[in-house]
Structure 1
Amino acid sequence: MLKQALTQLEDNLSISKTHILTIASRFQEHMEQGLSGNISSLKMFPSYLQAPRGNESGTFLALDFGGSNARAAVVDLKGEGKFLQFNRVVRSLSNPDSGYDLRASDVTGEELFDFLAGIVHKALSVSSFSPVLNSSTSKPVSLGFAFSFPYHQRRIGEGFLLNWGKEIQTSGVVGKDVGQLLSAALRRLGIGNVVRPDAIINDTVAAFLTAAYQDPSVDIASIIGTGHNTCYLEQRAPGFTEPVIINTESGNFSVVPETAYDHSLDQQSNNPGEQLFEKKLSGKYLGELFRQIVLDFFRRGFLGNFAPPACWNHPYAVSSKDMTLILTGEGNHLFPLPEHERYALRRIALLLSKRSARLAAASLIGIIQHLDPHFTKPHTVAIDGSLYEGLPGYAGELTAALSEGLDSNASPVRVKLSAGGTLTGAAIGAALANQPKNL
C-alpha cells in the first residue's frame, strides 16, 4: 500500500518536460499581458532602476526585511564590482521565550517599523557614521531598503504593499507607502534628519543589483528561499527609454498544475488564492506541504509504525530545514522508524523538492523566451535563497530542468549563485538613486 501511495504521489507531483514547456509558455504570455497593462497574474512592476555598471561607489546604510528576520548593515561600495559589509545587525521578528511576535495580526505597522528603525539606528550608532547622530550639519546618510513582499513601486523611493506573504499578518501596512512608514519611524526615533531612505526596492531586485554589480552578464535574478520571486532586465518596457529591471512578482503566477494538498494549503493560508506559485515551491510552504502529506499517509494507514510528534498537528510545524535533515539522513533520530518508512519520508521530501526546482526552471525558461525568442544571446541567471543554496540536490535539479526544457538552446544559459546578498543590493539601489536619472 505504501509503495502504491508513493507512486500515486509521484504521478501527482511530477512536472514532465511537456509540463515545463507549457508552464514556460503560459508564464511568457502572462509576462507580456502584464507589460501591456492587461489583466495578468504577473504584476510586472518596473523598479525604476537600470542595471548597475559596477563602478558605483560610496558608503551606504542598508536594511533588509524578508520574513522571520530583519537585517541592517553599513555597505561600502568600492567600484569594480567590489564591496564590504560591516556593522551587520540581525534581529528576529519573534521570540517564543518573551512571547512577542511582530508578524501577528494584533501588532500594528507602527510597532513593526519602529522595530526596523531601531535596527537601522543600531547599525548606524556602531559605525563610522556615528558622528552624524550628534551633528546638525552633516549630510543625511543614504539608506537602501530591500523589502521582500509584493510591492507596487511608483518610483525608486515610493511604493505600497499589495499584500503580505509568508503568513505575516501585521496590521495597518497593506496599501500603505512603505517608504513613508519607514521615514515616520525614523523620525519617531529622532534620526529622521540623519537617515534618508532613498531606495525602497524588492529583495529580488536587490539580488539582481548585487549580482550584476559583480557580473554585467546577469540579466535575470531569482530568489528561491523562504519566499520566491524573479526579476529581469527588460529592454523595451512601455514608458521607459532605457532598459529597466522588471519585478515580475512571479510568486503570484497562477497557471500551474495543482494537487489536493496544494489546494488545502492555499485555503488554510492567510491569503487564499494569492501567491499560488510561491506556495508550491518556496521554503515557507514546502515544509507545510510535507507535513500535510505525511499526516495524510499516516491517517490512511500507509505509515503504520510512524506516530507523528504532537507538534505536527500545528500548521507550519515542519520547515524546509527539517526536510533537509530528512534528505541527508541527519534527522533519523527524530523519526525512529523502520528503514522502509524512513525511505517514504525521504521520498516525499525529494518529490516536493524536485517539483519546486522544475517549476522554478519553467518560469525562468519563460523569461528567456520573452527576452530572446530565437535563443541567439547568452543569458546569466543569478539565484539567491536558502532553498536553492541549502536543500540537497536542489541546484542540480534546477539546472537539469533548464537543460531539459531548453534542449539544444541550453548552452548559452548560465546559472550562478548570487553572492553578497540583498543588503549589498539595497546599498547599490541607494547609490543608483543618487545618480542622475535616465529613466
Structure 2
Amino acid sequence: MLEQGLKQLENELSISLNMTLTIASRFQEHMEQSLSGRVSSLKMFPSYLQAPNGYEAGTFLALDFGGSNARAAVVELRGAGNFLELHKLSRPLSDPESGRDYRAASVTAEELFDFLAGIIQEVLSNSSAHPTLKSSTSGPLPLGFAFSFPYRQQTIGEGFLLYWNKEVETSGVVGKDVGHLLSAALERRGLGSVVSLTAIINDTVTTFLTAAYQDPSLDIASIIGTGHNTCYLEQKAPGFEAPVIINTESGNFSDAPDTPYDQRLDLESDNPGEQRFEKKLSGKYLGELFRRIVLDFSQRGLFSGLNNPPAPARWNQPYSISGKDLALILLEEDSHSRLVPRDECFALKRIAHLLTKRSAQLVAASFIGVVRHLDPHLDHRHTVAIDGSLYKGMPGYAQELTVALSEALESKAGLVTVKMSAGGSLTGAAIAAALAKLDK
C-alpha cells in the first residue's frame, strides 16, 4: 500500500523533459507578454540599474531590510571586483525582552523607519573615525537600500510598497514610497545633510550586482531560499536606451503544473492565487507540502507513525515542518526519533527527495525560459549566480538543478554556467548606490 502511494505521488510530482521545456516556453511567453505591456503573471519590474563594470569605487552606506533582521554597513568599493564591508551592524525587528516587534500591525510606519534610521546612525557613529569615510564627506554619503518586499518603482530612488509578506504587518506603509519614509526618518535624526538615499533595490538585484561586480559575464541572478525570485540583464527593455536589470518576480509565475497538494496549500494560504510558483518550490513551502503529503498518507492508512503521541500535534500544525527538517531527513540524521518510526524513514526520505527534485526542475525550467528570451538559438555563453538557503543547504539540490539544465539544454548545456553567488546584499546595495550616483 505504501509503495503504491509513493508511486502515485512520484507520478504527480515528476517533471518530464517535455514538461521542463513546456514550462520554459511558457515562462518565456509570460516574460515577453509583460515586457510588451500585456497581462502576465510575471511583473518584469525594471530596476533602473545597468550592470556594474567592476571598476566602480568609493565609500557608500548600505541598508538591508527584508525579514527578521535589519542590517547596515559602510562598504568600500575598491574596483577590479574588490570590496570590503566595514562596521556591519544587525538588529532584530523583534525583541522578546521588551516585547517590541517592529513587524506588528500595531507599529506605525514612522516607528519602523525611525528604527531603521537609528541603525544607520549607529553605523555612522561607529565609523566616524574611518579615514576613507572622512575623506568622502564633502557631500552626503550615498545610501543604497535593499528592500526585499514587493514594490512598484518608477525611479531608482523610490519604491511604493504593494503589500507586506514574510510576517511583516507594520501599518501605514502599504501604498507609500519607502524611500520617502526612510529619508524623512533620517531627517528626524538630523542626518538629512549627511546621508542621501540614492537607490532602492530588492535582494535578487543585490545578488546580481554583487556577483556581476566580480564577473562581468553574469547576466542572470536568482534567490532560491525561503522565497524565490530571478532577475536578469534585459538588452532591449521598453523605455530604456541601455540594458537594464529586470526583476521578473518569478515566484508569481502561474503556468506550471499543479498537484492537489499545491492547490490546497494555495487556497489555504494567506495570499491565494499569488506566488503560485514560489509555493511549489521555495523553502518556506516545501516543508508544508511535505507535512500535507505525509498527513494525507497517514489518513489513508499508509503511515502508522503519526498515530503515536506526541506526533499528531506537530503534524496537524501548519508550517510546523521546515526546510531544515527536510534537509535532516535527506541526510538521515535522527529523522526517525523526531518525526516517525525508523521503518518509515525511507518513505519520508523519498517524499522529501521528490519535492526537492521537483523544486530544482521548476527553477531550471524558468532559467531556460530567461536564457531562450535573451538568446533564442543559444549562440552565446550565460552565467547564473544563485544565492539562498535552499540552494546552499538542501542536500543534492544544486546537483538536481544542474542535471535538469543539462538534460533540457542537451549539446548547448556547456554555454550556461551556474555558480553560487558570493552573497552580500549590503555590498549589492552599495553598488546600486554607486551606479545611481554615476547616472546623476
CA-CA distance at 1:233 after TM superposition: 0.6
Q: Structure 1 residue aligned with 2:387, among 378, 384, 387?
A: 384
Contact persistence 1:384–1:421 (CA under 8 A) = no
CA contact (8 A) 1:280 1:286 kept: yes
1:321 maps to 324
Q: Which amino acid aligns with 1:391?
A: M
| Equivalent position amino acid for 2:361 in 1 | R
Supply the AA of the counterpart residue of 1:4.
Answer: Q
Task: State the alpha-carbon separation in 2 of the partners of residues 408 and 132 from structure 1.
Answer: 50
- The whole-number CA distance in structure 1 between the counterparts of 2:268 and 2:274 is 12
Q: Is the deviation greater in 388-397 or in 339-348?
A: 339-348
Paired amino acid for 2:352: A
Partners of 2:64 and 2:253 lie apart in 1 by: 24
Q: Does 1:164 align with 2:164?
A: yes
CA deviations over 1:319-374 (Å, ceiling 9, x no partner):
21222122212243642643331122222221111111111110000000000001
User: 1:313, 1:86 → 2: CA distance?
Assistant: 45
Residues in 1 aligned to 2:232 and 2:260: alpha-carbon distance in whole angstroms = 32
Does the residue aligned with 2:54 lie in a helix, a strand or coil?
Answer: coil
Question: TM-score by structure 2 length?
Answer: 0.93
TM-score between the two structures when normalised by the length of structure 1: 0.93
Provide the residue aligned with 1:372 in structure 2.
375
2:350 is aligned with 1:347: yes
Residue 114 of structure 2 aligns to a residue whose secondary structure is helix
SS at the partner of 1:197? strand
Question: Quick one: distance in 1 between partners of 2:238 and 2:218?
Answer: 22
Query: Over the residues paired in the alignment, what is the CA RMSD in angstroms?
Result: 2.2
1-structure distance, mates of 2:359, 2:99: 33
| Equivalent residue, structure 2, for 1:429 | 432
Give yes or no for contact 2:76–2:84 (8 Å, CA) kept in 1. Answer: yes
Amino acid at match of 1:215: D
Matched residues in 2 for 1:340 and 1:189: separation? Answer: 61
CA contact under 8 A between 1:322 and 1:331: conserved in structure 2? no
Q: Distance in 2 between matches of 1:416 and 1:21?
A: 22
1:121 positional shift: 2.3
Aligned CA distance change for structure 1 residues 337 and 254 (closer, same or farther; 3 Å): closer
1:310 aligns with 313
Relative distance call for 1:316 and 1:57 in structure 2 (3 A) is: same
Q: CA deviation at 1:76?
A: 0.8
SS at match of 1:90: strand
Quickly say closer, same or farther: Cα 1:330–1:317, change in 2 above 3 A: same
Mapping of 1:82-121 within 5 angstroms?
82-95=82-95, 99-121=99-121
What CA distance in whole angstroms lies between the structure 1 residues aligned with 2:258 and 2:106? 33
Contact preservation (8 Å) 1:106, 1:171 = yes
Query: Do 2:387 and 2:423's aligned partners in 1 also have CA atoms closer than 8 Å?
Result: no
Check whether the contact 1:166–1:284 (CA below 8 A) recurs between aligned residues.
Answer: no
Letter in 1 for 2:259: T
The 5 A counterparts of 1:16-165 are 16-95=16-95, 99-128=99-128, 139-165=139-165
Equivalents in 1 of 2:72, 2:222: separation in Å?
21
> Equivalent residue for 2:232?
232
Q: Distance in 2 between matches of 1:294 and 1:167?
A: 26
The aligned residue for residue 188 of structure 2 is: 188
Q: CA deviation at 1:178?
A: 1.5
Is 2:383 the counterpart of 1:360? no
Unaligned runs of 5+ in 2: none
Deviations 1:56-102 (A, max 9, x none): 01111111122222221221110000001122222233355654443
Please name the residue that 2:288 is paired with.
Answer: 288
Give SS of 1:364's match. helix
- Relative to 1, partners in 2 of residues 1:130 and 1:215: Cα closer, same or farther, differing over 3 Å? closer
Change (3 A) 1:163 1:427: same
Q: Please state how far the C-alpha of 1:112 moved relative to its aligned partner.
A: 2.7
3-state secondary structure, aligned to 2:432: helix
* Cα separation, partners in 2 of 1:422 and 1:278, compared to 1, 3 Å: same
The number of residues matched between the two structures is 435
> Measured at CA, do residues 151 and 371 of structure 1 come closer, stay the same or move farther in structure 2, by a change above 3 Å?
same
Paired letter, 1:238: P
* Cα displacement (A) at 1:106: 3.5
| Contact 1:150-1:163 at 8 Å conserved across structures | yes
Structure-2 change in CA distance of 1:329 and 1:190 (3 Å): farther
Change (3 A) 1:346 1:238: same
Question: Cα distance, 1:182 vs. partner?
Answer: 1.5
Write out per-residue CA displacement over residues 138-186 of structure 1, whole angstroms, 9 at most, x where no aligned residue: 6322111111122221111112122223343333222211211211222
Change (3 A) 1:226 1:24: same
CA distance in 1, matches of 2:209, 2:179: 19
Q: Which moved more, 1:100-109 or 1:253-262?
A: 100-109
Offset, 1:132? 12
3-state secondary structure, aligned to 1:23: helix
> Distance between the aligned counterparts of 2:147 and 2:334, measured in 1?
33
Q: Give the whole-Å Cα distance in 1 for the aligned partners of 2:376 and 2:129.
A: 48
* 143 and 254 in structure 1: CA distance in 2 versus 1, 3 angstrom threshold: same
Q: Which of the residues 407, 415, 419 maps onto 1:416?
A: 419
**CA offsets, 1:389-416, max 9 Å, x none?**
1111111111111111111211111011
SS at 1:383 equivalent: strand
Q: Structure 1 residues 188 and 288, CA, compared in 2 at 3 Å: closer, same or farther? A: farther
Structure 2 equivalent of residue 245 of structure 1 = 245
State, as a whole percentage, how many aligned pairs show the same letter. 69
Could you tell me which residue of structure 2 aligns to residue 7 of structure 1?
Answer: 7
